């Protein structure tokens, strides 16, 4: 039996089991071109469920199989057994024109898998010999302003490398399509037990919404996820590249807010409370976009403090550069909730900057073996040019741990990195140290453990750096860390 006949019989079985069909939902053309169409069956079932057509919905959910189970958290309904009946021809009117990958979960909006039309994207059109999800009537239902990636995303969500996670996140996006700004879904890479910030971000799909038309759309970028001809992902990739450093800066500022509160008992009221000269240098500098974020975070505090004395998340979502407005979601979501911390792995000679289970950096360090203590510490002092030099045994930066003699600093013995040659302190290369100095604020938690970090290094090509620095030197003190 040919594939087309087999799918026609499947559709025929549908009509025999749910009689009195008077709708014209465009499904058959999609099913004929995509035999593994469980997602389409599931979303079609959601549309019938919304219309209180329980018999049709149940049948579609049965065809959806494991997709239904992944979304609903329960087994799919059993399909009725087919009966042997003479085949009857389907009316020409049932050969619906156009293609949709499914219908919006719970809300019932139409979802289109997009294929660009128009002169600008003519070169992206797949040829007819290639397997793809067609979209011949997309441009009659959703405007070019929505189809094109002409605005920055409002959400960037990372998902694990499984279809179930991707579909679950898509469902979440489609249920929260309150804005016409796109929502972008990207691959979340793993590094052992950690979510790998620097390696994550390859675009999978974008969700668009046009409120006036009541339509949402999915634009796929990766054929492994959609069995389709993917769209050009260059704009989406560029959006992620521009977005990431701004999220790092937000994480730095939010962490500084929270640590300032812990240390002083009050919230900062102006930028100089955080970005001041030594020893009040909670944060090591101030990038231009931080001023708008500071104002938004201060407003959040004044609004939330009425309900709860200490809000745990101050993440700015409505201010600053449009390139950074997208909220981190999915595997990235912890950045909005967890302050930056430092973990030092004695066994692997690594120092990582993390937010929850997200690892943002992983540097090589030099340690002191048994002379380096395990435990939890706090950064209580940050100084530039300790002992008045950038080339001394402590390098260009130094950070004191819990007001003791242990510290994180540079070294004039770069060959000692990866070894146990210090008297207990953490040695770093100058470039790594200076980036860490800008990433972590006073009050940052530092945990020294025997093992737990990956061996693979994680440093970006372009280092994180704060500008508008203040005088963070301390010429009145001779530092004597356990180098």
Query: Would you name the residues annotated as active-site residues?
Result: 409, 425
Q: Where does residue 147 fall: left (phi above 0), alpha (psi -120 to 50 degrees), or beta otherwise?
A: alpha
Phi then psi for residue 67, to 5 deg, are -65, -45
Residue 245, both tokens: 């450093």
* CA–CA distance, 234 with 240 (Å, rounded to integer): 10
- The one-character DSSP state at 420 is B
Collapse the DSSP code of 272 into the 3-class scheme (helix H, G, I; strand E, B; otherwise coil) and give the result. helix
Residue with tokens 């590094």: 191
CA geometry: angle 85, 90, 92, nearest 5 deg: 170
Contacts of 358 (CB under 8 A, 6+ apart): 194, 195, 197, 331, 332, 334, 335, 338
Phi then psi for residue 106, to 5 deg, are 65, -45
* CA–CA distance, 339 with 320 (Å, rounded to integer): 20
Q: Are 240 and 184 in contact (CB under 8 A)?
A: yes
* CA–CA distance, 470 with 281 (Å, rounded to integer): 8
Residue 347, both tokens: 């066994």
Q: Are 328 and 244 in contact (CB under 8 A)?
A: no
Contacts of 440 (CB under 8 A, 6+ apart): 252, 255, 340, 342, 353, 379, 399
Q: What is the Cα 320 distance to its own chain's centre?
A: 19
* CA–CA distance, 435 with 412 (Å, rounded to integer): 17
Pairing mode, if any, of strands 183-187 and 203-210?
antiparallel
Collapse the DSSP code of 321 into the 3-class scheme (helix H, G, I; strand E, B; otherwise coil) and give the result. coil
């Amino acid at each position: 039996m040919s594939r087309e006949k087999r799918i026609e019989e499947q559709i025929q079985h549908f009509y025999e089991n749910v009689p009195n069909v008077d709708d014209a939902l465009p499904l058959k053309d999609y099913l004929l071109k995509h035999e593994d169409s469980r997602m389409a069956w599931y979303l079609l079932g959601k549309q019938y469920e919304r219309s209180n057509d329980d018999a049709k919905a149940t049948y579609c959910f049965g065809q959806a199989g494991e997709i239904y189970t992944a979304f609903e958290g329960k087994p799919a309904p059993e399909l009725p057994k087919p009966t042997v009946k003479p085949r009857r021809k389907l009316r020409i009117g049932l050969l619906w024109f156009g293609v949709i990958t499914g219908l919006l979960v719970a809300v019932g909006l139409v979802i289109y898998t997009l294929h660009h039309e128009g002169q600008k994207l003519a070169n992206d059109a797949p040829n007819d010999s290639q397997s793809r999800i067609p979209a011949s009537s997309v441009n009659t239902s959703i405007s070019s302003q929505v189809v094109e990636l002409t605005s920055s995303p409002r959400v960037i969500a990372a998902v694990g490398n499984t279809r179930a996670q991707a579909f679950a996140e898509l469902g979440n996006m489609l249920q929260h399509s309150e804005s016409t700004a796109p929502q972008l879904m990207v691959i979340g890479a793993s590094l052992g037990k950690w979510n790998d910030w620097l390696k994550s971000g390859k675009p999978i799909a974008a969700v668009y919404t046009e409120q006036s038309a009541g339509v949402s759309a999915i634009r796929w970028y990766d054929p492994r996820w959609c069995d389709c001809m993917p769209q050009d992902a260059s704009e989406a990739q560029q959006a992620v590249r521009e977005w990431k450093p701004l999220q790092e800066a937000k994480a730095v500022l939010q962490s500084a807010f929270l640590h300032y509160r812990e240390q002083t008992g009050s919230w900062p009221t102006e930028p100089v409370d955080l970005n001041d000269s030594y020893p009040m240098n909670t944060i090591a500098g101030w990038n231009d976009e931080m001023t708008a974020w500071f104002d938004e975070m201060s407003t959040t505090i004044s609004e939330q403090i009425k309900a709860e004395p200490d809000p745990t998340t101050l993440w700015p979502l409505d201010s600053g550069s449009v390139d950074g407005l997208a909220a981190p979601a999915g595997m990235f979501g912890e950045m909005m909730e967890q302050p930056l911390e430092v973990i030092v792995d004695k066994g692997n000679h690594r120092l990582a900057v993390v937010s929850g289970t997200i690892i943002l950096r992983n540097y090589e360090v030099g340690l002191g073996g048994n002379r380096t203590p395990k435990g939890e510490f706090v950064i209580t002092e940050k100084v530039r040019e300790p002992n008045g030099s950038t080339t001394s045994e402590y390098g260009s930066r130094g950070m004191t741990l819990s007001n003791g003699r242990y510290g994180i600093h540079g070294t004039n013995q770069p060959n000692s990195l990866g070894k146990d040659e210090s008297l207990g302190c953490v040695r770093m290369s100058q470039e790594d140290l200076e980036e860490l100095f800008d990433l972590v604020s006073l009050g940052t938690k530092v945990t020294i453990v025997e093992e737990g970090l990956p061996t693979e290094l994680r440093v970006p090509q372009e280092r994180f750096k704060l500008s508008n620095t203040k005088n963070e030197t301390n010429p009145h003190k001779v530092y004597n860390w356990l180098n």
